[in-house]
Each structure stands twice: as C-alpha cells, then as structure tokens.
Structure 1
Amino acid sequence: MEAGFDASMLDRETVAALIAGLLFTGVVSGTLAGLLGVGGGIVIVPVLFWVLTLLDFPDEVISHLAVATSLAVIIPTSISSMRAHNKRGNVDRSLLKLWGPAMFVGALIGGILSKYIPGGGLRLVFGVVGVLVAVNMALPKALVLAEHLPKSGLVNRVIATVIGFISSLMGIGGGTLSVPTLAAFSFPVHRAVGSSAALGLLIAVPAVAGFIWAGLDVADRPPFSLGYVSLPAAVIIAPTSFLLAPLGARIAHALNARYLKLAFAVFLALTSARMLLS
C-alpha cells in the first residue's frame, strides 16, 4: 500500500457507491468507444479525476492517475470496438499502415514525458484541445482542408505523431483528434470512426508503458497501482467498457454522419469544460 492513503476512511457504502460509479463509467465509455471511435477516455478521465479528488489524493498524482488508468482501459475497449467496426468494413488498413507506426512513437514519447509534466498541465491539455475539437465538430460544416490525405509520407507521419503525443497526455484513444483530422481531409466519417478505434490501440499500449515507468517511484498513489495505472479501477471499468463497445458500433451505423458529429461535440465539450473548471 502506498503512503498517503488511509483505507479506513472508506466505509462499505462509499466503496459500493464508487464501484457502482466506475461500472457505470464503463458502460458509458464502452458505448461511446463504439459510437465515436474515441476509446471512452473523454468520460473515464474526468470521472476518475473526480473520484480521486473525492478521496483526497494529492493534486500532484490525480491527473496522471486518471489519464494513465483511462489509457489502460482503452486497450481492451479499442480491441472490442475495432472488431465490431472491422466486421462492417470500416477499418482502413492502408491508413493504419500509414499512420500507425508514427502514432505509436508519439504516444510513447507522451507517456514518458508525463513524468516531467505537472497535473495542471495535463488538465490544461485535455480541456483546451477538447473544447477546440468540440467546436469544430459542432459546426454545420466541419473544417475541410483538402479532398484527400496529404500525398507526402513525411507530412502524414508528422500528423500521426502529434495526434499520438497529445492523445497520450489526454488519456484518450485518438479518435478525439484523428476523427476531425481525417474529416478535414474529406475522409468518410464512418470509416474515420472505425479506423480511429484501431488507432486507439496503437496509442494506448505505448502510452500506458510510458505512464507506468513515469510513476514507479512516485509516492501517494492508490494501493495496487502499477506506476500511474490504478489496477482496481481499470479492472472494474474495463469489462463493461469492453462488452458495451459493440453496442456503440451498432448505434453508429444506425445514425447519419451529422448526428455522429453532434454527439461527439456535445460529450467532448462537457467533459473538457469540466476539466478546465477544475
């Protein structure tokens, strides 16, 4: 058990309420993962931040724990969502080959550098980027830069690296940035959502590894934490998130592109504003 945590402050009712809240978080995040291709991090990060704040953990570790644990949950959720979208032919393998390696590297760099970024910095990244993306997605016509992805392999690698880096610091699966970026290059939205679910896996795995390393020697973490990853929270959220991702994917294919964008914008704006206000 890590220093700074007093388990006696949790009575049975509080523990039951926290478990119920985390299970509900898994339901919502899993559904959103399939629906929007975002890995559910836009829900998991703010909820974990609130829970850890309620339990009086130091501000220095709360944001890192929320982001890292969210990324750990995204791994199984992305697999489930990716499989569901792949069955419908909406995972673009050529895009995975083009963006995947650079996105992996960017996420790994972000996870490692998290050791040197304060908690307020992580919240600022989440809030500012989230609000900007939400505004863009809510517009009647999303920003369109070109009719196709850049032909330059270098430009594509730079785009993917930046998305991987920022996504790892936000605790999200990549859809928050990759979906609007792909839309800006006239990529079909359903295909962008499905491909983003797969790209989320390439972000979460290296980012989690980086956050584990960054938090190994940090004090005042919750009990049973692996680096900055809270294993109990991940174990509670992950199963329901994994199981609900296919439902979100089915809902996505029953909606038109405009409704998908609006749903994405509303959820992202609410959670981003909450992080900025905190």
Structure 2
Amino acid sequence: AGLDRLFIMHLAVGTSFAIIIPTSFISTMTHMKFKAVDFDIVKSFGVFVVFGIIIGTIFAANLKTAYLILFFSIITMLFAIYFLISKEKMNPAQNKMNMIHKIILGSLSGFFAAPMGIGGGLINVPILKVFGYSINQAIGSSAAIGFLVSVIGTLGFAISGTYLDTEVPLSFGFVNIPAFLIFIPITMLMAKIGAKAVHQINKQTINRLFGVFLLIVSCRLFFEYFSF
C-alpha cells in the first residue's frame, strides 16, 4: 500500500528486527535459567557484531529487493549444510576467541545479519560452535547478542526508511507497526517454548532440525528470487 516494490524486502527486514527485540529478550531470559548464556562473550564479541550491523544497515538500505533475497538464500544454504554435516561433541573443548577473531568475525556477522533482518543467531551459533561452545551455549549466547543486534537494526531501518520518505501507512520508516503488534505475542510465546526445548532435546537432533529448517528456507528464497 503505497510502497515502492523495490523496498518490500527492506520493510520486511526492518519489521523483523523490531519483532526480534522482545523475542530475543524472552529467549535470553529463558536460556539464563539453564546457565546457557556466556555474558563475557556477549559483551566482548557483541560490540563488534553491533558495529557490523551499523555498517550492514547502511549497505542494505541501498540494495534492491531481489539482491537481498538472493543474498539471504545463499547465506542460509551455506549454514544449512553446516548444521546438517556437523557433529556435536559430548564435551567440546573451548578455544579462546582472541581480539582479532572477535573484531573480524563479529563485524562480518553483524554486516551479514543486517540485510537479512535476523538477530545473527544463524551466523553466531556456528561461529561459537567452532570455538568449542556446545549447541546449547551457542544458542543461548547468540540470543543475547541477538537482542543487541535487533535494537540497532531496528533503529537503522526505521531511520533509513524515514530518510527515504517511503510513506507507508502505519509504519515508522521501514518498521510496520501493525505487523509488529500482530506477531510479537506469538513469537514471544514460541521463543520461551523453543528455548526450553533446546535444553530437553538431544543436541545432535537440534543440529539436524536446525539444518533442515534452514535448507527449506533457503530453497523457498531461491524460488522467490527466480520468480521475482
């Protein structure tokens, strides 16, 4: 309704970030009860993810919808493959993430998360797993980082949408208020249920289920890109 077709994905991404704010908060609080959030890595790694989000938001605001869809589908496919073939170790040994790792990987994570409208869990969970975190700790810590990411991402898309004067009814920049209000009750409820389930299901099963989910999402986006 009144929105340039080129900005459809931007509106979806901005609104997605807004929805992730309360959702990631609930998820983080639930994971904390299971001691699955490492706040040291959230603070030291998260600051660079936020930096990447700021740069990525500027980058995303100047991309066409089709390019965003293709970008999202490729990244999603890569991580789907990762989760499908990776194996969860019983007692993984953590490798200390040094400052260089945090700067490079954190910035890239935020930069890639911005055009996709995600909290970064899709990217940060694999990164933390590589450094020896269990799937539970990786998911819990990524949820906390996702809260920081979503706040910055929402502000970025709201401001850029206002600057571009999109004039979408009932929206603040690239954040649609009705969609936000409709989805948050559902996402907050499911976030709590999902966070609890992560600590009750076999870790290897979680890897496989997440991989299958990402594979389905990626295939759907590839189809959407070629029919755009």
State if a TM-score over 0.5 links the two structures. Answer: yes
Query: Are 2:37 and 1:104 aligned?
Result: no
Of residues 150-159 and 253-262 in structure 1, the stretch that sits farther from structure 2 once superposed is 150-159
Q: Distance in 2 between matches of 1:149 and 1:118?
A: 39
Alpha-carbon spacing, 1:221–1:133, altered in 2? closer, same or farther (3 Å)? farther
Query: Are 2:182 and 1:236 aligned?
Result: yes
Q: Distance in 1 between matches of 2:28 and 2:140?
A: 6
Query: Are 2:70 and 1:124 aligned?
Result: yes
Aligned pairs for 1:113-192 (under 5 A) are 113-141=59-87, 148-192=94-138
Partner residue, 2:27:
81
Structure 1 unaligned runs (5+)?
6-56
Q: Distance in 2 between matches of 1:268 and 1:58?
A: 29
Partner residue, 1:203:
149
Partner residue, 2:218:
272
Q: Distance in 2 between matches of 1:139 and 1:181?
A: 15
Normalized against structure 1, the TM-score is what?
A: 0.75
- CA deviations over 1:207-252 (Å, ceiling 9, x no partner): 1111112111446654111111111101110122112211111111
Letter in 2 for 1:226: F
The 8 Å contact of residues 15 and 180 in structure 2, kept in 1 or not, is answered as: yes
The 8 Å contact of residues 52 and 106 in structure 2, kept in 1 or not, is answered as: yes
Aligned pairs for 1:26-41 (under 5 A) are none
Q: 1:257 aligns with which of 176, 190, 203?
A: 203
The 8 Å contact of residues 110 and 210 in structure 1, kept in 2 or not, is answered as: no
Alignment coverage as a number of residue pairs: 221
Partner residue, 1:193:
139
RMSD: 1.8
Normalized against structure 2, the TM-score is what?
A: 0.90
The 8 Å contact of residues 80 and 245 in structure 1, kept in 2 or not, is answered as: yes
Letter in 2 for 1:80: I
Say which SS state the counterpart of residue 98 (structure 1) adopts.
helix
The 8 Å contact of residues 24 and 147 in structure 2, kept in 1 or not, is answered as: yes
Q: Distance in 2 between matches of 1:148 and 1:72?
A: 33
Partner residue, 1:44:
none
The 8 Å contact of residues 104 and 161 in structure 1, kept in 2 or not, is answered as: yes
Q: Distance in 1 between matches of 2:57 and 2:120?
A: 14
Say which SS state the counterpart of residue 216 (structure 1) adopts.
helix
Partner residue, 1:248:
194
- CA deviations over 1:112-166 (Å, ceiling 9, x no partner): 2222111122112210000000011001537xxx954454312212111111111
